[in-house]
Homo-oligomer: A and B are copies of this chain.
Amino acid sequence: MTQETKRKLTKQKLIDKGYELINMYGYHAVSIDLIIKEVGLTKGAFYYHFENKHHFVSKIIQERVEKEIHSEFIEPINRRGNPIFILGDLLQEKLINDDSLEQNLGSPLTNMIVALSYEHNDYNLKGQLYDVLDQWKVALISLMYRGIEDGYLDRHINTEPVAEFIINSLEGVRTLKRTTNNKALFYNYMEQFKNYLDTLKPAKEEKRFYLDAS
């Protein structure tokens, strides 16, 4: 094996194990000693690849947390189609069908936010996490604009509040899922989430007449 690939492999093993442990137990609860023990390496290896623990978790955020939000929640919605179906199907897939995913570990993004947003460090971790949220929000807003253009969504919806509400509720349910392994939490969430999405449908003239009168 070439030196470069071995180096990258080692670095990735540290990042992956660190991500796994930190996402479960939290940044401060997971020591570097534990991580290197779990992957069979030493302090020397760790500090060859990372300046310090903060730099390490910064890399975890950009290599794992940010990329997973992109691949699982942003890229799948970067297409045309009915946003109500696109979003409904996506969450159905992630929350209900995908058993492989860490279902009781909450959302890695929220987990990091809770653990790191008031941490003093040289890497702007809070800003990193905010940016991920922001990119996600932008993708949702774009999806909705396309949906409005194509007549799937009402022209009068406020896209930013809607995008935030979707993110907030999803991050909320994933986080609270940490307290239980009852999958009903996700089923129930899906039901109400779809009800909420329906409020974004275009209001037909007849319908609006009665809604406004209520």
- Chain A residues with CB under 8 Å of chain B are 24-29, 105-106, 110-111, 113-115, 117-119, 126, 129-130, 133, 158, 160-162, 164-165, 167-173, 175-176, 178-180, 185, 188-189, 191-193, 195-196, 198-199, 201, 204, 206-207, 210-211, 214
Contact = CB atoms under 8 A, between A and B. Distances in A.
A178 B214 contact: no
A26 to B, nearest CB: 6
Contacts of A118: 24-25, 105, 178
Contacts of A179: 113, 117, 126, 129-130, 133
Contacts of A119: 25, 29
B188 A165 contact: yes
B178 A113 contact: yes
A173 B180 contact: no
A18 to B, nearest CB: 15
Majority-rule SS of A interface residues: helix
A25 B106 CA distance: 19
A143 to B, nearest CB: 16
Sorted nearest first, the 7 A-B pairs with minimum C-beta distance are A172-B172, A161-B188, A28-B28, A168-B172, A165-B192, A169-B169, A168-B173
A175 B178 contact: no
Nearest to A182: B130
B214 A207 contact: yes
11 contacts: A113-B178, A117-B178, A117-B179, A158-B192, A161-B188, A164-B189, A165-B192, A165-B193, A168-B173, A171-B176, A172-B172
A167 B177 CA distance: 12
Contact of A172 (B105, B175, B195, B198): B175
A114 B111 contact: yes
Contact of A168 (B105, B115, B161, B176): B176
B25 A26 contact: no
B114 A192 contact: no
A178 to B, nearest CB: 4
